[in-house]
Amino acid sequence: MNILVTGATGKVGSRLAQRLVQHGHTVRALVRDPARATDLSGHGIHLITGDLMRPDSLRGAVNGVEAVVHCAAFFRGATPEEAHAVNNHGTQHLAQAARAAGVGRFVFTSTGLVYGPNGGVPAHEDDACAPIDAYPQSKLAAERLLLAIDGLDVRILRLPFVYGDGDPHIEDVVPFMRTFPPAQRMSIGHHADVAQAVIRLLEAPSPAHRLYNVADDEAPDLATLFASVGQPPPDGTDPERAKAFAAVMDGRRLREDLGFHPLYPRLADAVRAGMA
């Protein structure tokens, strides 16, 4: 397929775009500044300039593509207003452009944080959502507006905490989660498995559902996550703040419907393979 990927300069999008090329797809990346995305060109990814907040710039980006994989999002450092503008309104602009251009499929990468605190009980796709932070609230709003659009084949993946492939995500999050409870669990997923999930959903002629969770077979506690990068466990001094990130997901639907099987079912598997 000829695919447009947004967020291709980000941690998830950059690795995903390269894997889509390796899988035989033609990939173009929507970027605001091509000078900052030259590494993508070296991997056979075509750059096209555009901005989610400038709807007119999106027409050329979606022209002639068969599918859109929308990974772009504003998370860390965003005010609630900025998160809502980019993650909700920006998504709407892109979806409208895709529908007008006759794009066949639209895959949206959302987040498992949309479920809100669930006490460690794995959340199923049909469960009610009650996110308590601005970022997942904006992603949930984007999900709902996408699912309400007629004439666009929308498919949504709710991602876990993503790691691996040289991404320092675990190390980066240690200072932020230092005050979280050490026994709090969190669904995770390796970049390779996120890409596998996107490709399976993207290529499925008609999936049985429009919403799928992506998650490893095991949701480690934070003490285990910290230990994987040589850090002592978090101290548990701010359990209230931690609740917004206590996202554990049930990933059976993706396995049963689309044959997804994690390459790295557990964090320990990725560590042993030197891929964490």
Calpha distance 135→241 (Å, rounded): 14
SS (H, E, C) the chain: CEEEEECCCCHHHHHHHHHHHHCCCEEEEEECCHHHCHHHHCCCCEEEECCCCCHHHHHHHHCCCCEEEECCCCCCCCCHHHHHHHHHHHHHHHHHHHHHCCCCEEEEEEEHHHHCCCCCCCECCCCCCCCCCHHHHHHHHHHHHHHCCCCCEEEEEEECEEEECCECHHHHHHHHHCCCCCCCECCEEEHHHHHHHHHHHHHCCCCCCCEEECCCCCCCEHHHHHHCCCCCCCCCCCHHHHHHHCCCECCHHHHHHHCCCCCCCCHHHHHHCCCC
Q: Is residue 208 part of a domain?
A: yes
Predicted pLDDT of residue 188: 97
Domain count of the fold of the chain: 1
Q: Rounded to 5 degrees, what are φ and ψ at 137?
A: -65, -40
- Tokens 């397929």, residue located: 1
Catalytic residues: 135
Q: Is residue 163 part of a domain?
A: yes
Q: Which of 78, 70, 67, 72 is nearest to 10 (CA)?
A: 72
Predicted pLDDT of residue 142: 97
Q: Contact 147/154 with Cβ under 8 angstroms?
A: yes
Domain of 131, CATH number, reads 3.40.50.720
Predicted pLDDT of residue 39: 87
Burial group, residue 233, by CB count within 10 angstroms (0-12, 13-18, 19+):
middle
Summarize pLDDT for 186-214 with one digit per residue, the tens: 999 999 999 999 999 999 999 999 999 99
Q: Contact 222/246 with Cβ under 8 angstroms?
A: no
Number of residues assigned to the chain? 276
Summarize pLDDT for 149-185 with one digit per residue, the tens: 999 999 999 999 999 999 999 999 999 999 999 999 9
Predicted pLDDT of residue 36: 83
232 CB neighbour count, 10 Å cutoff: 11
Q: What crossing angle do the helices spanning 191-203 and 11-22 adopt, rounded to 10°?
A: 60
Predicted pLDDT of residue 206: 94
Predicted pLDDT of residue 77: 78
Burial 238-249 (b: 16+ CB within 10 A, else e): eeeebbbbbbbb
Mean pLDDT for each consecutive 10-residue tract of the chain (276 residues)?
96 96 97 88 92 96 97 87 92 97 97 91 96 94 97 97 96 97 97 98 96 96 97 97 92 97 96 92
Q: Is residue 256 part of a domain?
A: yes
Q: Is residue 272 part of a domain?
A: no
Q: Is residue 273 part of a domain?
A: no
121 CB neighbour count, 10 Å cutoff: 10
Q: Which domain holds residue 143?
A: 2-167+188-218+248-265
Q: Is residue 86 part of a domain?
A: yes
| pTM score above 0.75 | yes
Predicted pLDDT of residue 126: 97
Predicted pLDDT of residue 38: 84
Q: Is residue 61 part of a domain?
A: yes
Q: Is residue 89 part of a domain?
A: yes
